Amino acid sequence: MNTQIKYILVPLAIFVLATHCNSPSQIYHSLQPVIDGEWWQIAGNPELGAFTAEEQQPVDFGIWQAKDGTWQLWSCIRKTKEMGNTRLFHRWEGKSLFDRNWEPKGIAMRADTTLGEQAGGMQAPYVLKHQNKYLMFYGDWNRICLAASEDGKNFQRIIRDGSPALFGDTLETNTRDAMVIRKNHEWYCYYTAHPNMDGRVFVRTSTDLINWSESYVVAYGGQAGKGKLWYAECPFVAEPETGHYYLFRTQSYGAVTNPPKTSIYHSTDLKNFGIDNDRGFVGTLEVAAPEIFKFENQWYIAALMPNIDGIRVAKLAWVPRETE
C-alpha cells in the first residue's frame, strides 16, 4: 500500500470507529420501566392510638421477606401526634406478597433521644439481608443509622460509641432516604439531603457496612429540577441488566389533583447519574417513594398511594427504549 494513502486511511478508520463507539444509540439501547398490570393496595393509614392524627400520612417505607416467609412492611408515618418532627415507624405483615390489606402490627420504632436521635425524626427504613441477618438502614432526621434482626421482624439498634449512627453531615442537612446495594466487594449507600434547601442525591461506599467514605453527589438538577429540597428524594437504584443501573428519583409526592412523579436515569457508573444534565434520562412514572425488587424472577414496584394514604404494589416490566 502506498505509504501516503496508508497514513490517511489509518486516522480515518480510527475516527470512524471512535464516532461509532461514542454514539449512545450505538453503544446501548437503554431500558425503560413500565407498570405491568393493576396495582393492589397492601397497607392503609394506620391506627396509632394516642399518636393518631387527622392529617397523618404513611410515606417512605421498606418492604422485604422475613425469615419465616412472611412479607414485612415498615413505613414512616408523618404528621402524627409524636413529639418533635412527628414521625415514627409502623409495621404491617402479609402472608403473601399478593395479599391485599396486610395485617397492621402496630408501632414498630420511635426515636430514642438518649442515643442522639431527634424526637420524631424517624425516616425511610430500608432492609437488606446479609450473612443471615437483616440490616435496617434508617434516618433519624440528620443521620443514617443502623439496626439489625435475626428474624426480619424484631430489630435492635446497633450501638457504637453510644449511637446507632453510621454517618451524617450537618452541612448536607436532613440526611435521609437511604438504600444500599452491593457491587463486587463494595457497598453503595444512596441517600438524599438538601444543603441550602437544594435537594440532591448522594452516595457513600463501604466494604464492611459500618465504615463509610466521604459523600459524592450522584444526581442533581436536570429536568427533575433543582432549588427545592424535594426535587431529589427517595433514591432507589436497580440493576435489571448487569452493569446497567437505573436511579429512581422522586421529585413530587403529588395528590389527587397533582399526580406524583419519579424520574428514572440510566448509567453504567454507580457514582454518576447526571449532574445538571439529562444524558441518562429515560422517562418518568406517576409514583412516589418507589421500592423496586425482584421476587421469583419477576420485577415489582411498591409505591405510595396517590392520595398518600397507603402503600401499593404492581408488577414492573423493563422494555427496550431507543436512545437518540
pLDDT for the residue numbered 322: 65
Residue 6 binned pLDDT confidence (cut-offs 50, 70, 90): very low
Mean pLDDT, to the nearest integer, of 154-180? Answer: 95
Report residue 162 as a C-alpha cell: 453510644
Q: Are 179 and 189 in contact (CB under 8 A)?
A: yes
pLDDT for the residue numbered 111: 98
Lowest-pLDDT choice from 4-13, 69-78, 227-236: 4-13
Residue 169 binned pLDDT confidence (cut-offs 50, 70, 90): confident
CA 295 from chain centre, in angstroms, equals 17
**pLDDT above 60 (res 21):** no
Rounded to two decimals, the pTM is: 0.90
Q: CA distances (Å), 136 to each of 62, 109, 114, 187, 190, in order?
A: 9, 12, 20, 14, 14
The rounded distance, in Å, linking the Cα atoms of 127 and 138 is 9
180-225 pLDDT, tens digit each: 999 999 999 999 999 999 999 999 999 999 999 999 999 999 999 9
Q: CA distances (Å), 30 to each of 26, 90, 112, 206, 287, in order?
A: 11, 37, 44, 28, 21
pLDDT for the residue numbered 171: 83
Mean pLDDT, to the nearest integer, of 310-315? Answer: 98
pLDDT for the residue numbered 157: 98
Mean pLDDT, to the nearest integer, of 117-123? Answer: 98
pLDDT for the residue numbered 4: 44
pLDDT for the residue numbered 257: 66
Domain ranges of the chain: 38-320
% pLDDT > 90, the chain: 86
Q: What is the mean pLDDT of the chain?
A: 91
pLDDT for the residue numbered 28: 58
Mean pLDDT, to the nearest integer, of 70-93? Answer: 98
pLDDT for the residue numbered 324: 54
**pLDDT above 80 (res 29):** no
pLDDT for the residue numbered 192: 97
- The hierarchical CATH code for the domain 38-320 is 2.115.10.20
The rounded distance, in Å, linking the Cα atoms of 97 and 69 is 10
